[in-house]
Amino acid sequence: MPNTIQSIELRNLKIEDYKELKKSMVESYPEMADSFWQEEQLEILLNKFPEGQLVIVVDGIVVGSALSILVTEDFAFKTKTYKDITGNYTFSTHNSEGEVIYGIDVFINPKYRGLRLGRRLYDVRKELCEQLNLKSIIFAGRIPSYGKYKDEITPKVYIEKVKKKEIYDPVLSFQLSNDFHEVRVLKNYLEGDTESLEYAVLLEWNNIYYEDSPKLINVKKSVVRLGLIQWQMRSLSNLKALFDQAEFFIDTVSGYESDFALFPEFFTAPLMADFNHLSEPEAIRELAKHTEAVKLKFQEFAISYNINIITGSMPFIEDGHVYNVGFLCKRDGTNEMYRKIHITPNEVFHWGITGGNAIQTFDTDCGKIGVIICYDVEFPELSRLMADEGMNILFVPFLTDTQNGYTRVKHCAQARAIENECYVAIAGCVGNLPKVNNMDIQYAQAAVFTPSDFAFPSNGIKAEATPNTEMTLIVDVDINLLKELHEHGSVKIMKDRRHDLYSLKKI
């Protein structure tokens, strides 16, 4: 390695680079000194796929390169030898319609190793894959240290030991550290590769941003805007008064182009004042008679204000049982119901509410979401099953009377965000209802929680409302940050689960 370096440049290959490129190539492969690329071969590559040919230039000297072609995924996985993948070194196999980059070569002059220049080439190749909206990068990597172990272990066992860092392989160890995963072992891949005994490992890096048949309209958004409504409990004269108050908030958050409006659990409870002379089980059943009208009106709001509305929750009677349910009213006019699964002792004792039995996620124009009601967030199994189905945002409408209850909801919601690598939005009711039995006081602080990693707030809190004050909270969340976290986070909670020891599944 030179003692001093003045400049390092990574750029696309030019044919004028060939003389220096050849020198670095020969020095990089002393065991195959006669197998360097010819100038006319590089000219073919530059004509077919110029953006895929990269070089590293140190103080004006070409010290490394990454060469590649485009092929179809099917061709990359089926082709078994280097000669076949390159079309006998003519690159006739390059397919401009291919959805994957196939790596033909990567090398760094030995004099310049130790500067992580190879990593730079890999990173730029990944950026190119994302920019071109290609599915993956695929190539077959040599295993040059295998020759030392050929009499002791098979290539398969060798790869496992390299993965576990029991054996160091200068090529495979580097590729695995750059987020490539092995697909299978290839035999007789590169003719003349005596160090590897002509074995190679087919490796793949997946572009998490790849869009199959990208659309110009109706594309799922990366940045999603959430409108959380911290609802003031107050006396309401009738159902129209409730609709007027709800429309005010929907109008407000949609005016800021929110994609979702989240209402709290039992935000319709003020209407129970008319039934306060009845027993509590009778009063909740009377309130349930408004549920269908509320759903229909919120469907209308979702369409007219172009926003997806999560209606918090309200009582619902089915087959004689009272359930605590809510509706996802989508801006396309459709709606889906969700039910509270875990019922608090208070709800059972005072209202006789029955728990639901469906664990589900919902597809929206902003991606897959989950909705669980209040007490449900204190049971981690629900949101984990939803995360396994691809949920990115978990909505939690809640109702807590004391700060103790709110603390349980808040900290459990934060835990769900971290352990499931998702966003969690919570919204509750504030204020008092002195004329409604079992609903007299409320405590809430709406918030949006995030995972805890460098791309997110250090305390895992994206935003919080003022406690016990009627207001809205409007928050942007970036779904692409979750994709990066899943693949490249400081820890990878979803990926690192020990499925060999335990599992979680729906019954």
Buried b (16+ CB within 10 A) or exposed e, 86-98: beeeebebbbeeb
Domains of the chain: 8-206 (3.40.630.30), 224-488 (3.60.110.10)
- Residues 341 and 397 sit within 8 Å (Cβ to Cβ): no
| φ, ψ at 146 (rounded to 5°) | -65, -30
- For residue range 75-119, what is the model confidence (pLDDT) as tens digits? 999 999 999 999 999 999 999 999 999 999 999 999 998 888 999
Q: What is the distance between the alpha carbons of residues 472 and 435, in angstroms, rounded to a whole number?
A: 26
Which of 29-43, 171-185, 188-202, 256-270 bottoms out in mean pLDDT, i.e. has the lowest?
29-43
One-letter amino acid for residue 226 of the chain: L
What are φ and ψ of residue 261, in 5° steps? -115, 130
Q: In what order do the strands lie in the sheet with 423-427?
A: 362-364, 367-371, 393-397, 423-427, 447-449, 461-464
203 burial type by CB count under 10 A (0-12 exposed, 13-18 middle, 19+ buried): buried
Q: Decide the pairing of beta strands 335-339 and 314-318.
A: unpaired
If pLDDT is split at 50, 70 and 90, which confidence band does 216 have?
Answer: low
pLDDT of 388 above 90 = yes
Looking from the CA of 200 toward its CB, the CA atoms found within 13 Å total 20
Q: How far is Cα 69 from Cα 76, in angstroms, rounded to an integer? A: 11
CB 232, CB 433: distance < 8 Å = no
Residue of 265, 280, 421, 470 with catalytic role:
265
| Residues forming beta bridges with residue 461, ordered by sequence position | 449
Question: What are the CB-based long-range contacts (under 8 Å, 24+) for 380-384?
Answer: 380/412, 380/415, 380/416, 380/419, 381/504, 382/341, 383/416, 383/420, 383/422, 384/419, 384/420, 384/504
Q: What is the pLDDT of residue 34?
A: 67
Per-residue tokens: 27: 């020095």
Confidence of residue 206 (pLDDT cuts 50, 70, 90): very high
Q: What is the mean pLDDT of the chain?
A: 93
Rounded CA separation 84/91 (Å): 9
Catalytic residue among 295, 297, 330, 340, which?
Answer: 340
Cβ–Cβ < 8 Å for 254, 306: yes
Residue 212: pLDDT band by 50, 70, 90 thresholds? confident
Q: Span 451-459, mean pLDDT?
A: 96
Stretch 401-428: mean pLDDT, rounded? 97
Say whether 340 is catalytic: yes
CB atoms within 10 A of CB 115: 17
The answer to whether 27 is a known catalytic residue is: no
Q: Give Cβ neighbours of residue 316 (< 8 Å, ≥ 6 apart).
A: 288, 291, 322, 323, 324, 325, 337, 339
**Which two three-digit tokens encode residue 69?**
């072609």
Q: Is 459 exposed, middle or buried (0-12, 13-18, 19+ CB in 10 A)?
A: exposed
Q: Across 168-268, where does the E strand assignment appear?
A: 181-186, 200-206, 223-233, 260-262
For the cut 70, the answer to whether the pLDDT of residue 215 exceeds it is no
431, with CB counted inside 10 A (0-12, 13-18, 19+), is middle
Find the DSSP H helices in 89-238.
117-131, 155-163, 172-177
Query: What average pLDDT does this structure show over 363-387?
Result: 97
Measured distance CA(148)–CA(206) in Å, rounded: 31
Q: Per-residue pLDDT for 422 more than 70?
A: yes
Active-site hit among 329, 374, 412, 429: 374
**What pLDDT digit, counting tens, does each position of 279-325 carry?**
999 999 999 999 999 999 999 999 999 999 999 999 999 999 999 99
Nearest to 326 by CA among 384, 367, 266, 285: 266
35 pLDDT higher than 80: no
Sorted by sequence, the CB contacts under 8 Å of residue 170 that are 6+ apart come out as 144, 145
What's the confidence (pLDDT) of residue 49?
96
What are the backbone angles phi and psi of residue 235, rounded to the nearest 5°?
-65, 130
Check residue 10 and give its pLDDT: 94
As a whole number of Å, the end-to-end CA separation of the chain is: 60
Question: The tokens of 45 are what?
Answer: 């590559």
Angle between helices 403-419 and 380-388 (to 10 degrees): 30
435 is catalytic: no
CA atoms within 13 A on the CB side of 407: 3
Reduced to 3 states (helix: H, G, I; strand: E, B; else coil), residue 306 is: coil
Only one residue has tokens 């729906």, namely 506
Residue with structure tokens 């730079």? 120
At which residue do the structure tokens 């929750």 appear? 313
Q: Hey, is 209 helix, strand or coil?
A: coil
Report whether 318 contacts 324 (CB < 8 A).
Answer: no
Q: What percent of the chain has pLDDT over 70?
A: 97
The C-alpha angle 321, 326, 328, rounded to 5 degrees, equals: 140
| pLDDT top residue among 303 and 237 | 303
**Range name among 245-254, 285-294, 396-405, 436-445 with the lowest pLDDT average:** 436-445
Note whether 359 and 388 are within 8 A (CB): no
Q: Which one, of 117, 168, 169, 167, lies nearest residue 144 by Cα?
A: 169
Find the helix or strand (DSSP H, E) in which 383 lies. helix 380-388
The one-letter amino acid code at 25 reads M
pLDDT at 258: 96
Phi and psi (nearest 5°) for 243?
-65, -40
State mean pLDDT over 135-156. 93
